[in-house]
Structure 1
Amino acid sequence: MAEPSPTAMPTLRQLLARAHLRLILFAVLMAGLTLTVTGVTVIRGYAARNLTLIAQTVAYTVEPALLFEDVDAARRGIATVAASESVRSVELHDRDGRLIAAWNRPDRGMAGNLSRIVDALFWPSPVRVPVHHGPVVVAEVQVFGDAGGLGRYILSGVATALACLGLTIVATQLLARRLQRDVTGPLAHIAQVAHAVRTDRQFDRRVPVAGIHEVDQFARDFNALLDELDEWHTGILNENRILERQATRDPLTGLGNRAMFERELAATMAQADAGDTSFAVIYVDVNRFKQVNDSHGHDAGDVMLIVIAARLRMALRPGDMAFRLGGDEFALILAAGATRSEADQMSAQIGTSMTQPIMLPSGVSIRSSLSIGSALYPQDSVDPRALLRHADAAMYAAKARSDGRN
């Protein structure tokens, strides 16, 4: 199963902003809903008691008109009481349920239709109060409530809730910016530094201090860890350089060893092929080295090898390389572009450098000579093994010709 890409994953700021927004919205909605329901319930209770009082007032008002059978007076009395109250309609019925008189609030168009729907929702049945004449019930007053006040209260509650939601969104944005500055910003910086250290090995990067104690402590510990990683990385690099030198350098003379010679030979061949040019390989063997070891000791032989290596290094041109292959055998690789005449000149220069005597630890001064052979790439061979055999054969041929004296 493929892991989600980093770009598809939400950021910490987004998660915190969403969580705070949802929490605040839920709190505002619950508070608004609770206050609205509670308010509507309380107001409806007061309105129900008010309708009962209105119905009783209407009953007292119309009683005389009913005794004198004056319907117009009853209508005027009902209108006088109901017009200024939250009443939608009032009906006056006799003992047999026949309608005697009625009053209805004037229609208000679309608002009236909506009001009737709300009225039917909050006042599904009228408030009924009997009209007494002494102990006898002569009629019944039915009062239907008007939910306009409740509607206005609900609308004001909705408007207040919307205003609170707007303020909530603004507060959430401000909180998100604060989180960005104090929490997610420093954490993102830490992530950037960690990425730079991991991918680019930038161990010198550090995280600045933060404004929150926990985040600041985390940043300080992270910087301390980077200090340790920097020291560890520097130590590893130094150890690698030492190990590489030990693996590619002759410990006695400091010249490249056989492994380095083979690697550089392959690289020089590739360079010569790319530039369609030539280069030379020179083999050097120390004459009568075994006699020096036997006569003067191994310390004298080591001094002799060190001096010969130094003289070979002094003869090198820019781009040339010298190696100790083992024992008393040395090799040189002349830089790409070298010709056979340059190889011969280098061989002669090296041979001339050995005319100077070598002072041994015992105080004895001796003279040494070298047997030198060279091969030219690609004229002598394009195969590295064959090229080395050619140079080795030329060296032994020189040793045989000079009988080791030059």
Structure 2
Amino acid sequence: MAPNDEDEGTRRLGSQHTSALDIAIKNFSPIWFSISMDTGIISIIMNLLPWQFNGLGILATIMFVWNLVLFSIFTLISIARLFRHGRHVQSELYDSTEQMSYQAAPAIAYLTLVAQVSLTCSTAWGHRFTILAYVLWWIGLVWTVTLCSWSVLFLSKYHFTENKRLPPAIFFPLIGVITQGTVGGLVVNYSAGLSATLAIPIIIVSFMLIGYSFFLSIMYYTIYFHQLLTVGPPQKATIPSMVVTIGPLGQFATSIQLLGTAASSKRLFADYNQGTFLTASAAESLTTICVVLALMAMGFGFLWITVAWYHVVESLVKRQLPFSLTWWSLIFPIGVYTTALLNLSKAMDSSGFRGLTAALLVFLLIVYFVNLFMTAYRIFTGHALGVPQEREQEKEEERNRRHQRSVENSSNA
């Protein structure tokens, strides 16, 4: 083929290339919702931080609105992806344990919005937003429990073999269920005008959710720890996702404290006053037990913080950790561990825990804005959405086709 003919063919085929927008939609992944999750947990910590200052509440509200915008954009893209590339989405679920696990990220992001409806909207605008948060919580219950149960069944049927490694992302569905319990604690503690009749079902179901997720996570920890000892950490590009292992323990410690506080300090058990458990005397004992269990869970969580962050820092020092969306996994698990410390600071009236909570919030904000800058840059260049990679693949496929046609023409001649 003459050079000018080749250039003409390239231009003609270039017009048939998939648009950049369609490539971005196809390559979109539920892991993007981790940005919304991280925004949500930071806004919640800002709202509840023991050391408040003028303007912090406004910053928390700004983060809440920003979270709502992110969640809406990601949801619209996900819907478009499902309609335009449904088969691709299905194949990803069957081929990738990681992608299957990330299906829980939208549910967790949704729950951070439900929490802020209770913390911000209900406090500011009254009982009608309390009812909204209440209804949204029950919707989230169906979503998270169905998703987690499906993930366990799916994992056992399609993915778990001796030759396959389980990624840290498998903890995402479990975090979704236990986050449901945490948000239940926030709703009953901070929603304006929530009666004991409405609150008690949330408390009871939330305790059941904690048991569902926590004991399942113990089994996952056993499998994952054995994998670390026998195989080692995951690939360098996904090392940040090891921090996800902290999530179930941090959320357990947070949720169980919130539910214990609701039972006693909010006097919900006393107001309900039924049977031997839903009474004022039982509430006081329950609160103490919840704090003890939270401390034990946080001790175990500190072990996983040490393991995960050792590998993250080691990879950073060796410059073996290229930026990817998995970097957003660094924030939410530490965020829920921070909320557990925040609640301990209230239970013990501890200045030390209050100071540690504030320090961790600053750390989370630094990581958040570093990730945000790097993500925005990669969106601008197209790498975050896979556009240059897809273009290169198209060029390679076209070169192979031209070579094949050239060989066929030569053989025919």
TM-score (norm 2): 0.24
Q: Which has the higher helix share?
A: 2
Higher relative contact order by CA 8 Å / sep ≥ 6: 1 or 2? 2
> TM-score under structure 1 normalisation?
0.24
Larger Rg, first or second structure (1 or 2): 1
